[in-house]
């Protein structure tokens, strides 16, 4: 079955019903396929409306073709053209919409991709299914921000093609025009991504390869490299290229997940002068798969003592050295975060005058009944610090969270006899709380945030929340917690970021007051600061 006409509005709105039969649909503009996607097309009242921005094609002829769709099915006939997104009156105000964690307007999101800074803007790309609230149809969604807090979502940057779906990768600014894509004064932004062959009908039989796309207008439009793939298939589902510029050797370096046979190195580093010709440099072994990152940081802030970090999707990392050819690990595999975070990536090209290494992860957790699903962690700053256990990675909220601070309350010397103490003055549903505990003789201490318990167990030295835990030694019987509370998450930072426990969880809907507790003994909160936050969405 198909429908056709002339494009007269900015959006094609498509009705989606969760659980309805899936159908492959193709959008053709002037006879050329521009989108191919699978969708649970509503036959009656939709759960939500998906949309495609077709504004570049206004005035052109289009047709929608669907496989296996009976003639006259209402869902296909209900596709609407409009200059607005259907039923967008509650956009960013939905019940479970995160208010200061990024989430897509509609559809599913997972891994952050292509985090890059250019001309005052942070670009966040991400794995996006525009046509459903479950994983699939992988596009590169795109949002920009000037302050890491307020995000503006743009149209999807990359859509599936005959080489496959658009899986994870990275982005860079090509300051030296090494790839030759620059036109005019603007430097080219280049996305390096995995084309996941075999996941669409038109890419049947294609392997996983690494490809390029570029933008010469500050990321507003993207052109795929005519010579794709830039790196052919190596093995298995090789994917998730993270590319950096290594100045001493004047070359690009790619960290790539190999998806190898069991027992072989699971990552590789490759080098290139122009992003188009690649040679293998070395292999890396890390006990996790997917989504590598590779970056250098000073230790304890000293530029004279810098180390390299090789990172994997589940938060495992290695600290070591890199000479342009070989990464040499100097630690056993370590773990940065626990909880429900995954596939974290760091921004490239943040100016040296800033000097920060900023990271965002996918915060896994379903948001039931919403026209969108999943969210990102709040941006964190990464630092390497020397501890009694050696050099470790610390994670702490980016300072820009302060832009959302509204009412602030401060306490000192809160005694906690065994039991719970309610702080009725704090009732907001968006919170940034810092609390320093002296454990006293208590077995457990913690906070209750809109019904969600954050607990530290002094005997096991574990910090836990909603079934997830991380180890945290308590020096001098003291711990310091920083907790961010949103509509669908609780992110916990302990001892200035030595432990990081981000958890996707939906707190109680009502404005329950903040509470602190001690169990099997008494404790004391030496200082507590509670900031109620404003929503980031405008």
Which residue, chain included where needed, has tokens 């942070």? Answer: 122
Which residues, at least 6 apart from 194, have a Cβ–Cβ distance to it below 8 Å?
Answer: 164, 166, 167, 168, 169, 208, 209, 210, 211, 238, 239, 240, 241
Cα three-residue angle 506-512-515, rounded to 5 degrees: 100
Residue 435 tokens, joined: 């609390």
Bridge partners for 153 per DSSP: 143
CA pair distance 206, 200, nearest whole angstrom = 10
What is the token pair recorded at 117?
């800074």
- Report residue 399 as tokens: 């300072």
Residue 217 among the catalytic residues: no
Answer for the pair 156, 220: CB distance below 8 angstroms, yes or no. no
As given in the structure block, the two tokens for residue 122 are 């942070």
Span between the terminal Cα atoms of the chain, in Å: 41
- Is 122:7 a contact under the CB 8 Å cutoff? no
Best CA proximity match to 39, nearest among 11, 53, 54, 20: 20
Catalytic residue among 53, 111, 354, 457: 111
DSSP at 187 = P
Helix and strand numbers, DSSP H then E, in the chain = 1, 42
SS3 track for 71-134? CCCHHHHCCEEECCCCCCCCCCCCCCCCCCCCCCCCEEEEEEEEEEEECCEEEEEEEEECCCCC
**Which residues are tagged catalytic?**
111
């Amino acid at each position: 079955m198909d429908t056709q006409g002339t494009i007269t509005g900015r959006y094609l709105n498509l009705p989606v019903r969760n659980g309805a039969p899936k159908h492959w649909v193709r959008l053709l503009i002037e006879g050329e396929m521009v989108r191919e996607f699978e969708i649970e097309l509503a036959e009656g009242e939709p759960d939500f409306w998906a949309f495609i921005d077709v504004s570049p094609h206004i005035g052109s002829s289009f047709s929608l073709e669907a496989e296996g769709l009976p003639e006259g099915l209402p869902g296909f006939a209900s596709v609407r053209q409009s200059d607005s997104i259907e039923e967008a009156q509650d956009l960013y105000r939905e019940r479970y919409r995160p208010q200061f964690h990024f989430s897509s307007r509609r559809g599913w999101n997972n891994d952050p991709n292509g985090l890059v800074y250019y001309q005052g803007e942070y670009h966040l790309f991400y794995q996006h299914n525009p046509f459903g609230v479950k994983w699939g149809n992988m596009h590169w969604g795109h949002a920009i921000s000037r302050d890491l807090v307020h995000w503006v979502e743009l149209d999807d940057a990359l859509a599936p093609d005959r080489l496959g779906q658009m899986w994870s990768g990275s982005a860079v600014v090509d300051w030296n025009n090494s790839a030759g894509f620059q036109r005019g004064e603007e430097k080219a932004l280049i996305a390096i991504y995995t084309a996941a062959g075999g996941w669409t009908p038109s890419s049947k039989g294609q392997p996983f390869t690494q490809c390029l796309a570029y933008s010469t207008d500050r990321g507003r439009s993207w052109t795929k490299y005519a010579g794709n793939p830039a790196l052919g298939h190596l093995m298995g589902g090789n994917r998730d290229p993270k590319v950096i510029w290594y100045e001493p050797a004047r070359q690009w370096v790619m960290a790539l997940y190999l998806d190898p046979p069991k027992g072989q190195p699971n990552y590789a580093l490759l080098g290139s002068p122009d992003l188009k010709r690649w040679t293998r440099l070395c292999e890396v072994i890390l006990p996790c798969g997917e989504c590598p990152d590779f970056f250098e940081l000073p230790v304890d802030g000293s530029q004279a003592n810098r180390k390299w970090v090789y990172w994997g999707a589940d938060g495992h990392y290695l600290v070591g050295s890199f000479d342009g050819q070989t990464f040499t690990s100097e630690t056993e595999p370590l773990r940065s975060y626990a909880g429900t975070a995954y596939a974290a990536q760091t921004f490239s090209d943040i100016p040296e005058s800033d000097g920060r290494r900023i990271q965002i992860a996918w915060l896994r957790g379903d948001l039931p009944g919403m026209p969108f699903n999943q969210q990102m962690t709040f941006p964190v700053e990464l630092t390497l610090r020397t501890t009694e256990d050696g050099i470790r990675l610390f994670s702490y909220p980016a300072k820009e969270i302060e832009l959302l601070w509204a009412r602030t309350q401060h306490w000192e010397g809160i005694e906690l006899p065994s039991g719970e103490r309610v702080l009725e003055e704090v009732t907001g549903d968006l919170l940034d709380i810092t609390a320093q505990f002296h454990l006293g003789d208590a077995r457990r201490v913690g906070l209750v945030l809109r019904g969600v318990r954050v607990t530290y167990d002094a005997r096991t030295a574990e910090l836990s929340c909603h079934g997830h835990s991380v180890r945290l030694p308590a020096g001098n019987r003291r711990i310091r917690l920083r907790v961010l509370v949103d509509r669908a998450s609780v992110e916990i930072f302990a001892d200035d970021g030595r432990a990081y426990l981000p958890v996707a969880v939906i707190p109680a809907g009502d404005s329950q007051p903040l509470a602190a507790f001690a169990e099997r003994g008494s404790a004391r909160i030496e200082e507590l600061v509670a900031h109620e936050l404003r929503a980031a969405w405008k």
